[in-house]
């Protein structure tokens, strides 16, 4: 994954890791997950 030159990644919660991995692999994120997928712009 690339964040991009000059971009900053905001502080994220440990709970955001699992939904981010699922999104990268194209797997649906369960609605009951507390974390949110990290967006890389």
How many CA atoms are closer than 13 Å to the CA of 14, on its beta-carbon side?
A: 0
Enclosing domain of residue 28: 10-41
Is residue 1's pLDDT more than 70?
Answer: no
pLDDT, tens digit, 9 for 90 and up, residues 20-38: 999 999 999 999 999 999 8
Quote the pLDDT of residue 41. 63
User: Is residue 3 a part of any domain in this protein?
Assistant: no
Model confidence pLDDT, tens digit, residues 5-22: 766 666 778 899 999 999
5 within a domain of the structure (yes/no): no
Split into its structural domains, the chain has a count of 1
Residue 7 buriedness (CB in 10 A; 0-12 / 13-18 / 19+): exposed
């Amino acid at each position: 994954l690339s964040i991009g030159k000059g971009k900053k990644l905001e502080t994220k919660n440990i709970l955001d890791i699992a939904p981010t991995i699922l999104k990268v692999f194209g797997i649906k994120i369960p609605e009951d997950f507390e974390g949110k997928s990290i967006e890389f712009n």
